[in-house]
Amino acid sequence: MSLAGRGGNGSVRRANLPSTIPGLHMLSAHVAASFASLASLTLAAAPLAWQAAAPGAERLTIYEDDVEADLLRFDLVRYRPEVVVLANGAKTAATLRAETGAAAVVNGGFFDPSWRPLGLRIARGKTLVPLRRRVDWGVLVLRVGHAEIVHSREFQADPTVDGAIQVGPRLLVGGQPLKLKPQRARRTAVALDREGKTFTLVVTRRAADAQRLATLLARLGFDSALMLDGGPSTQLSAVIGAIRIDLPGGYAVPDALVIRKRP
């Protein structure tokens, strides 16, 4: 709202109003707050647009109140996610991506102080670490052209499983957020569509609440999602077309998810 008129010569002519009009300052503050609220609602309602990075790969960058994240979505017909467990020591996502020529690399699951992975790890069809039972974690299961997330108690090994990581907690089941503990940290997650035909890496740039992230992923239409290790472990390195992302973690990690382009 403007308290100004315009003269015949195009110049702005302000009304000569006393500065002590009762309630004027309060009204101005109320109008400003209303416009700010309306702008906030408009931004929240605006659809988030995915950016094409390469055939079969897209990027979405989110800047919201308390979530700042990069999402990379891959068509599993064109790209192949792999579990990599390092036999000796640990490496950063950036080092591993540079060595493998992969499109993207993120950190994997939990590990102990001796850098030994905790929970199931299957890489190239071979079980390297056994399933950890009686834990409320999920398992990311990778098959050729397909991915799914199941609870640990639902996992069944079979020859078609090419890769798997057991970690947690799960964020979404059937498109609905699960009830999560209130805590903030940097996050790495994987989100899937209902058919398991696309595979999305989710990495926050700063600390984010797990429940808030789950709600956001549900709003984006994902069917299932699983948290990987987070905090200082969270890291992403990606080179896809003209897009380059390097979000370093606090240290190297002993296992990772590597996304390669299919031949």
Structural domain spans, the chain: 4-45, 51-261
Is residue 257 pLDDT above 60, yes or no? Answer: yes
What is the model's pLDDT at position 124?
Answer: 96
What confidence tens digit (pLDDT) does each residue in 74-121 have?
999 999 999 999 988 899 999 999 999 999 999 999 999 999 999 999
Distance in angstroms (rounded) separating the CA atoms of residues 226 and 147: 12
What confidence tens digit (pLDDT) does each residue in 19-78 have?
444 443 443 444 344 433 333 333 344 567 899 999 999 999 999 878 999 999 999 999
Handedness of CA 64, 259, 249, 247 (dihedral sign): negative
Global pTM? 0.82
- Give the CA-trace dihedral at 5, 8, 9, 13, to 10 degrees: -20
H-helix or E-strand containing 258? strand 255-261
Overall average pLDDT of the 161-165 stretch: 98
- The residue among 212, 184, 183, 216 whose CA lies nearest residue 200 is 216
Distance in angstroms (rounded) separating the CA atoms of residues 92 and 222: 28
What confidence tens digit (pLDDT) does each residue in 216-245 have?
999 999 999 999 999 999 999 999 999 999
Q: Strand, helix or coil at 133? A: coil
Q: Is residue 45 within 8 Å of residue 51, measured between CB atoms? A: no
Q: What are phi and psi of 214, to 5 degrees?
A: -60, -45
For 27, the token pair is 């009204």
Distance in angstroms (rounded) separating the CA atoms of residues 13 and 4: 6
